[in-house]
Amino acid sequence: MSHKIILPLNRGTLGSWRWLITFSVLSASLLIAAEDPRVVDLKERAQRGEAGAQYSLGMMYARGEGVAQDRAEAAKWYRFAAEQENAPAQFLLAVMYANGTGVTVDITEAVKWARKAAVWGYAPAQFLLGTMYANGTGVPKDGAEAVKWYRKAAEQDNTSAQFNLAVMYANGAGVPKDSTEAMKRFRKAAEQGYAPAQFQIGTMYAKGEGVPKDNTEAVKWYYKAAEQGNARAQLQLGVMYASGESVPKDSAEAVKWYRQAAGQGNAPAQLNLGAMYANGEGVPKDPVEGLAWIDLAAASGDELFVKNRDMVVGRVGPEAALAAQERSKQILKEIEAAKSAPASPAPKR
């Protein structure tokens, strides 16, 4: 099973990529009934000081599996195990201090425990420590130190570390800029099925960065990412089909990909989908539906999107604009509801 903590970092394109960092800790299933004698046995062993039992008990309290969920109790048992140099417990304790889960937020403690686990060679902790150095979280910002820890984790096939190391090479952060090495690292992460890396490979083929320009390869990698739900890849495919760039022009296919990205809250896709409805391209013309999606895009605060919305409002008139506002609220509710079911299709009218 897997615990995931996502920390938002920088936003942008390849030059300043939004890093979505996922810390995953795998462990054996602990689906044990509360009255199961094994629970009692685990507690007894933990109380006797067995680090492995303390770590497992902490996991049970964190998840509420076999015991009532209690994150403070989880932190307590992680600490007992961490003090005996149990690296997974040290890492999870670091994450709890970073997020204020079961304990008060304390970045200094988070760095301390992340470093201890990283020194032991625990890849998720090495990745976390690298991210702390990349962002200057609890430590002075230091690209070279970030690269060092990302590299250590990447050598253990940590997918997120491979990706972030690629980003460092692509941006020349902490290492000399090297598009060839960036592509190599992106490819390793992509081959592990990591959609953001697949998207970046598509972009590098499209631009000829680190590899010869190859639009066919670009489309192939965009598809790999888009089919996994990567909104940026879905948006890019929509743009390509709308313009006929590297693929046959197909407005209906463009709408399909815009809709999938827009349904995930991607503002540029929402704007483009709105324009398709407003102009009747790939879908029957529907000014209200078009303005509703454009209104959602404008809610991001982007100045260009706001100007587009205001321009369309002026064209359709107050009655249609009011109807579009109501439709926009409905779409937003559908998007929020769909977040709990990622496999569901994007909302349709």
For residue range 202-256, what is the model confidence (pLDDT) as tens digits? Answer: 999 999 999 999 999 999 999 999 999 999 999 999 999 999 999 999 999 999 9
Q: Is 274 or 28 the better-scoring residue by pLDDT?
A: 274
User: pLDDT category, 338, cuts 50, 70, 90?
Assistant: confident
For 69, the token pair is 């969920």
For 133, the token pair is 């150095």
In the predicted structure, residue 31 carries a pLDDT above the cut 50: no
Q: Is 165 or 349 the better-scoring residue by pLDDT?
A: 165
Residue 199 lies in a domain: no
In the predicted structure, residue 347 carries a pLDDT above the cut 90: no
Containing structural domain, residue 319: 229-349
Backbone region of residue 64 per phi and psi (left: phi > 0; alpha: psi in -120 to 50; beta: other values): left
Please report the beta strands in the chain, taking only residues with DSSP state E, as ranges in sequence order: 2-8, 20-26
**CA 140 vs CA 116, 117, 200: distances in Å:** 18, 19, 28
Are 133 and 151 in contact by the 8 Å Cβ rule? The answer is no
Residue 279 lies in a domain: yes
Q: Can you name the residues that pair with 4 across neighbouring β-strands? A: 24
User: pLDDT category, 35, cuts 50, 70, 90?
Assistant: low
Q: Which residue, among 156, 151, 121, has the nearest Cα to 133 in the 3D structure?
A: 151
Instruction: Report pLDDT digits (tens) over 138-149.
Output: 999 999 999 999
| Helix 123-135 × helix 143-154 angle, to 10° | 160
What whole-number distance in Å separates Cα of residue 124 and Cα of residue 184?
A: 21
Q: Which residue, among 154, 138, 184, 157, has the nearest Cα to 7 in the 3D structure?
A: 138
Q: With H, G, I as helix, E, B as strand and everything else as coil, classify residue 28.
A: coil
Percentage of the chain lying above the pLDDT 90 cut: 84
Residue 300 lies in a domain: yes
Q: Is 88 or 13 the better-scoring residue by pLDDT?
A: 88
Residue 272 lies in a domain: yes
What whole-number distance in Å separates Cα of residue 311 and Cα of residue 262?
A: 21
Q: Residue 133 carries which side chain, given as an amino acid letter?
A: Y
Complete DSSP assignment for 246-308: SS---HHHHHHHHHHHHTTT-HHHHHHHHHHHHHTSSS---HHHHHHHHHHHHTT--HHHHHH
Count how many domains the chain has: 1
Query: For position 256, what pLDDT does the model report?
Result: 98
In the predicted structure, residue 157 carries a pLDDT above the cut 80: yes
The number of angstroms, rounded, from the C-alpha of 280 to the middle of its chain's C-alpha atoms is 33
How many other CB atoms sit within 10 Å of the CB of residue 60? 25
Instruction: Report pLDDT digits (tens) over 302-319.
Output: 999 999 999 999 999 999
Give the pTM.
Answer: 0.82
Residue 284 lies in a domain: yes
In the predicted structure, residue 22 carries a pLDDT above the cut 90: no
In the predicted structure, residue 66 carries a pLDDT above the cut 90: no
- Terminal Cα distance for the chain, rounded: 37
Residue 298 lies in a domain: yes
Are 162 and 171 in contact by the 8 Å Cβ rule? The answer is no
| Residue 13 DSSP code | S
Instruction: Report pLDDT digits (tens) over 173-201.
Output: 999 999 999 999 999 999 999 999 999 99
In the predicted structure, residue 78 carries a pLDDT above the cut 70: yes
**CA 27 vs CA 24, 39, 56, 60, 117: distances in Å:** 10, 16, 9, 11, 16
Q: Which residue has the tokens 């979505």?
A: 20
Tell me the average pLDDT across 42-54.
Answer: 96
Query: For position 348, what pLDDT does the model report?
Result: 41
Q: With H, G, I as helix, E, B as strand and everything else as coil, classify residue 64.
A: coil
In the predicted structure, residue 161 carries a pLDDT above the cut 90: yes
Residue 250 lies in a domain: yes
User: Burial of 132 by CB count in 10 Å (0-12 exposed, 13-18 middle, 19+ buried)?
Assistant: buried
Residue 325 lies in a domain: yes
Tally the C-alpha atoms within 13 A of residue 206's C-alpha that lie toward its C-beta: 19
Q: Angle 101-102-107 (CA atoms, 0-180°, nearest 5)?
A: 55
In the predicted structure, residue 20 carries a pLDDT above the cut 70: no
- The CATH number for 267's domain is 1.25.40.10
Report the mean per-residue pLDDT for the chain: 89
For 181, the token pair is 């090495």
